[in-house]
Each structure stands twice: as structure tokens, then as C-alpha cells.
């Protein structure tokens, strides 16, 4: 039987943010250690899942069949994690507590506020590109609209997996080379934000500044629920509430325009 690692020193924790006595998985050998080669396997899974989602075959682009690449977005990297971590792949998933739902809502509201502020700054500093997915949501109706919201929820779990696994990989790599935990968490958060922003470059017309400032900042805010709870369900819930609120505003705005035009 393996001994549990010693508690993380207070000087290496973000006491104002993290829950006492809790820690991230894998980087200290709990519940299992993942080797550098193992993390590369996981990262290949992350890239493969993203590629399948972004470039699905034509027969997987329909309203119903589109759920398959959205599900594979998360399933492929999680399968890679299970391959190297065994049953411990579930360590990023935890049961939800009542307060976790409040955290989801709170961080969703925080991210919307941050997005509005950053968006206002960007509009005054540079030429920006609109997110076509948000704009297209306003044209949906009926069953297509409900399927869009459901498919988006599945997709956003994939986006969380694509962010949290690289975060944990960078954390493990940096601490394994002697970097303090606090510094490693900060660097890993920034690395996850850059990766997430880079993945959204085509969405924003390859505008690097807009992707880094807008998407990267949003990724940092939406990673905080995971850092607080070590539970991907919480960050996924916050992400879903955030995006659904944005889609709802687009849909209501489009409905208002159509009504005025009528």
C-alpha cells in the first residue's frame, strides 16, 4: 500500500482560492503518477479529440450526427488518460456538492463581466472579428435550437478536457523539475489559456491579439472553478452557463430585430 503524500505546505497553496486539504491529481503520485511519456500520450489524445471535432467527416455534421464528434472531443483524450492512468482517470471528476452549483453560476457571471470589459477594451484598440457560432445561434428555431444547446453542452465538456489535461501536464512537468507549486499553477494556467486561445484562432480570423486577450482571459476565469474544486464538472457547468447566456442574448436579440422588422 502506498503512503499518501504529505499535505501541501501552506506557502505552496492559494489559501484564498483552494479548499483546505485538497490537491490536484497525478503530479504528486496521487492517485497515480503519470510519466512524461504518459503525458505525451494524453496530449496526443487531446489533439486527436480536437481534430475530430473541428474536422468531422461530412456524415457527422448533421443536427443529430453532430453529437458524435462533440462527444469524441472529450472521449478520445479521456481514453488516452485512462490508458496511462488506469482507473485513476476519473480523478478529474468528483461528486458535485450543493455549493458547487453556486460556484458555477458565480464564475459564469464573473466571466461574462470580464468578457464585456475585455471586449470593450479590444474594440477600442483593434479590429475584431465576430464569433459566427454566436451569430448563427440567433437564426435557430424549434428543435434545431434545442439540439444546438444540447450539443453545445457536450462540446463544452470537451473544451474543459482540452484545457484541464494540458494544465495538469504542465503542472506535473514543472514541479517535477523543481518549480514551486504556486508558480507552477500560475504558469500551467497561462499555458492552458494560450493553448485554448490558439485553438480558437480560426474562429476569430486568425487574430492573435483578439484570441489571446478575449479567449485567453475567459479561459483563465473559467479554469478557476477547477482550481477551486479540482472537479471538471464545476468548470464545465460554469462554461455551459456562460456560453448559454451569450447564446440566449444573441437569440433574443435576433428575435427582437425580426419583430421590429415585421
Q: Please give the average per-residue pLDDT across 41-68, as a whole number.
A: 94
Q: Is the peptide bond before 104 cis (omega within 30 degrees of 0)?
A: no
Domain chopping of the chain, boundaries: 93-261
Residue 83 has pLDDT above 90, yes or no: yes
Q: Please give the average per-residue pLDDT across 6-11, as a whole number.
A: 73
Q: Please give the average per-residue pLDDT across 190-206, as a whole number.
A: 92
Contacts of 157 (CB under 8 A, 6+ apart): 73, 74, 232, 236
Q: How many degrees, rounded to 5, is the angle at CA 175 between CA 170 and CA 180? A: 120
Q: For a pLDDT cut of 70, what percent of the chain falls above it?
A: 92
- In angstroms and rounded to an integer, the radius of gyration of the C-alpha atoms of the chain is 19
Residue keyed to cell 489535461? 165
pLDDT of residue 252: 79
Q: Please give the average per-residue pLDDT across 19-30, as a whole number.
A: 91
Nearest in space to 128 (alpha carbons), one of 16, 50, 22, 204: 204
CA distance 47 to 69: 13
CA distance 168 to 188: 7
Residue 262 has pLDDT above 80, yes or no: no
Residue 104 has pLDDT above 50, yes or no: yes
pLDDT of residue 27: 94
CA distance 7 to 5: 6
Amino acid at each position: 500500500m502506498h503512503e499518501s503524500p504529505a499535505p501541501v505546505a501552506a506557502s505552496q497553496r492559494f489559501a484564498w482560492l483552494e479548499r483546505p486539504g485538497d490537491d490536484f491529481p497525478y503530479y504528486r503520485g496521487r492517485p497515480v503518477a503519470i510519466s512524461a511519456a504518459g503525458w505525451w500520450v494524453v496530449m496526443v489524445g487531446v489533439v486527436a479529440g480536437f481534430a475530430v471535432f473541428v474536422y468531422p467527416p461530412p456524415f457527422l455534421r448533421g443536427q443529430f450526427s453532430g453529437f458524435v464528434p462533440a462527444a469524441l472531443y472529450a472521449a478520445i483524450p479521456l481514453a488516452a488518460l485512462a490508458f496511462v492512468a488506469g482507473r485513476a482517470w476519473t480523478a478529474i471528476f468528483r461528486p458535485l456538492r450543493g455549493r458547487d452549483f453556486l460556484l458555477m453560476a458565480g464564475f459564469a457571471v464573473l466571466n461574462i463581466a470580464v468578457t464585456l470589459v475585455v471586449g470593450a477594451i479590444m474594440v477600442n484598440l483593434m479590429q475584431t472579428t465576430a464569433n459566427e457560432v454566436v451569430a448563427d445561434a440567433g437564426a435557430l428555431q424549434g428543435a434545431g435550437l434545442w439540439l444546438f444547446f444540447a450539443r453545445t453542452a457536450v462540446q463544452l465538456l470537451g473544451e474543459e478536457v482540452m484545457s484541464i489535461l494540458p494544465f495538469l501536464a504542465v503542472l506535473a512537468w514543472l514541479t517535477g523539475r523543481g518549480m514551486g507549486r504556486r508558480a507552477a499553477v500560475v504558469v500551467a494556467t497561462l499555458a492552458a489559456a494560450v493553448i485554448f486561445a490558439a485553438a480558437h484562432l480560426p474562429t476569430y480570423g486568425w487574430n492573435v491579439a483578439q484570441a489571446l486577450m478575449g479567449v485567453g482571459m475567459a479561459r483563465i476565469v473559467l479554469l478557476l472553478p477547477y482550481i477551486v474544486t479540482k472537479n471538471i464538472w464545476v468548470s464545465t457547468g460554469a462554461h455551459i452557463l456562460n456560453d448559454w447566456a451569450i447564446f440566449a442574448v444573441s437569440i433574443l436579440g435576433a428575435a427582437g430585430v425580426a419583430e421590429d422588422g415585421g
